[in-house]
Amino acid sequence: MSAQHPDAPEAADALHELAALHGASARYPEAAAALERFVAAHPRDPRSADALARLFQLHRQLGARAEAEAAIDRFVALFGRTRPHQAARLEWARGSLLDPRDHAVQLAHARGFLRQYGRKAAPDQRALAEVAIGEALLRQACGGRDPARGCFELEASASPEATGPEAAVEQARARVEALQRRATLREQLAEQLARVGGGHPSQVRVQHELRVAQRREQRATYTVPRRCGPTTTAAVSAAPRDAELVQRAQAHFDRVLALHRRGGKALHSQLASDPEGPAREAALLDAVARATLYTADAALTGYLALRVPEGLEFHVEEWRHGSGVEKWERAYERQLAARDRSVKRLTAFMTEKRRAAAELTRRYAELAALGVPRWSALASARVGVVHEAFARELERAEVPASFTAEEHYEAYCDALTQRAAPLRRAAAEQYRQCLALATRAGASVEQARACGQALDRLEGTSGEHYEMPVKTSHVELEAAPERVGVVTE
C-alpha cells in the first residue's frame, strides 16, 4: 500500500508496520530499507525519531558504518533541539563505530561529545565520556599499557652476585677452606689466652687482634650478598608514568565520582524509569568502577615507591664495651647509635607501609562493594599485588654494609623473610579467590589466566593453577575474589 499510495494517510502506518514485521522476522536489511523509506517520506512524523534511532542500530549491526553515522546526523538535524538527551545518547553511541584500537580517535570523540553535549547529556552519559577521556590519558601516561591491567611491573633486582653451577661449587669450596682457617684461629686464640693468663691486661687486646684477623679471613673467603634472597626474586615496582598526564586523567575521574555522588538515588530512580535503564545503569556502574580503580591505583603507585630504607646498620660488637680501651669504647658507642637510628628508620618504614596498605585495601573494598563481578575481581587482585609487593620488598632488602659474616647475613635476612611470610600467604589467598571468581563469573580467558599466573609466580609453580601461560613483562591482573583484606602482623 505504501508503494501504491504513498500520499495516503495510512501509508506512513503501513510502512512503519512493514519495518517492524521485517525486524521481528530477523530480516534486518529489509527492516533497514523500510525505515529509510519511512523517514525519507515522513521526516516530521513523531515516530521518525525512534525510527532513526532504530535505523542506527540496524546499520551498526549490519556493519554499515557510513549509513549508521548518517542516521545519527539526520536525527540531530531533525530532533536535536526537541530531544537533546536522546541526541546525546546517539552521539555517544557513535563511538562504537570507531576502531577501539585507535585510542587517539576515541579520545577525540569523547572530548567532542563533552564540548557539544556537556550540559545537555544525562549525568550517566557525561560520566561515560569523562572516564573515557581519563582512561585514554592514563594509557598515554603509562606508555600505551591498558590501565585496567595496572601500571606496574615485576623487575628482577640487579645483583652482582655470581650465579650458576660453577659459581656454586666455587662458593662451597671457599666455605670449606674458611671453616678450616677459623678452626686454626680458634686454636691460636686458646693458645694465646693460656699464655697470657685469665685477667691479664693484654688479654682483651689479644682477643681483639685475633678477631680482626678472623674477620679478615672471613672477608677473603665469603662475600656477603648485597641483598637478601635469591637473585631471581623480582620486586614489584611502578612503571614510568607521565605525572602531568596522570594528574589530568585524575581530574576526569574525580568528576565521574562527583557525578555519581550528587546523582545518588535520584539518578538511579531516573534510570529505572527509562526503557534502556538496565543497560544505562550497568554502563554507569562500569564508569564509576573504572574511576574508583584508577583513583586507588594512583595511591598504589606511591605505595610501591615506599622501599625498605638503605644504609641500615644493626651490628654491634659487644666485646668492645667495658674493654677500658678508649678507641674501642668510642667505636662501640658509634655502633650503638647507628643501630638505634636504623631500628627507628625501619620501624617508621614498617608503620608507614602498613598504613598505606590498609588505606589501599579500603579503597579497593569500595570498588568491590559496587557489586560488579569483574570489578570485584579486579579489586581483590590489586590487594594481592599490595601484599605481594610488600613481601618481595622485605625478601630483597639491602643487607647492612657492616655485615661481614655469613651468620649475620642469615640472621638478618631470615628475620625479614619471616615478616614476609604472612604477606605471601595473604597474596596467595587473594589470587586463589581471584581465579575462582574469574572462572565462576564467566570472566574473560585473560582474566582467569592472569590470576592463575600470579598465583603460579607467587608459589613457584608452573602452570599448576592455570595452564595457559601469559608472555608479558608486566603484571596483568584483571580478576579477584569476593573479599579484600590487609595483613597487619
**Residue 340 is assigned to a structural domain of this protein:** no
**Residue 172 is assigned to a structural domain of this protein:** yes
Q: Which three cell numbers stand for residue 317?
A: 660488637
- Three-state SS for 433? helix
**Residue 227 is assigned to a structural domain of this protein:** no
Cα 277 from Cα 89, distance rounded (Å) = 12
Cα 55 from Cα 93, distance rounded (Å) = 13
> Which of 189, 221, 253 is the C-terminal boundary of a domain?
221
> Which of 46, 64, 86 is the C-terminal boundary of a domain?
86
CB 317 within 8 A of CB 335: yes
Q: State the average pLDDT for the chain.
A: 80
Cα 78 from Cα 74, distance rounded (Å) = 6
**Residue 19 is assigned to a structural domain of this protein:** yes
Q: Across the chain, how many H-helices and E-strands are there?
A: 15, 2
> Which of 86, 120, 147 is the C-terminal boundary of a domain?
86
Q: Give percent of the chain above pLDDT 70.
A: 75
Whether 440 shows a pLDDT value over 90: the answer reads no
Q: How far is CA 461 from CA 105, 164, 421, 422, in A?
A: 42, 21, 17, 19
**Residue 359 is assigned to a structural domain of this protein:** no
**Residue 422 is assigned to a structural domain of this protein:** no
- pTM for the model: 0.75
Q: Look at the chain and report how many structural domains it folds into.
A: 2
Tell me the pLDDT tens digit for each residue of 404-424. 777 778 888 888 888 899 999
Residues 6 or more apart whose CB falls under 8 angstroms from that of 394 comprise 228, 308, 416, 417, 419, 420, 423
**Residue 193 is assigned to a structural domain of this protein:** yes
User: Per-residue pLDDT averaged across 223-229, rounded?
Assistant: 84
- Three-state SS for 8? coil
Tell me the pLDDT tens digit for each residue of 103-139. 889 999 999 999 988 888 888 889 999 999 999 999 9
**Per-position DSSP letters for 289-318, written without gaps between them:** HHHHHHHHHHHHHHHHH--PPSS------G
Does 275 or 392 have the greater pLDDT score?
392
- Quote the pLDDT of residue 465: 56
**Residue 23 is assigned to a structural domain of this protein:** yes
Does 310 or 442 have the greater pLDDT score?
310
Q: What is the DSSP letter of 149?
A: G
What is the CATH number for 15? 1.25.40.10
User: Which domain covers residue 57, as residue numbers?
Assistant: 1-86
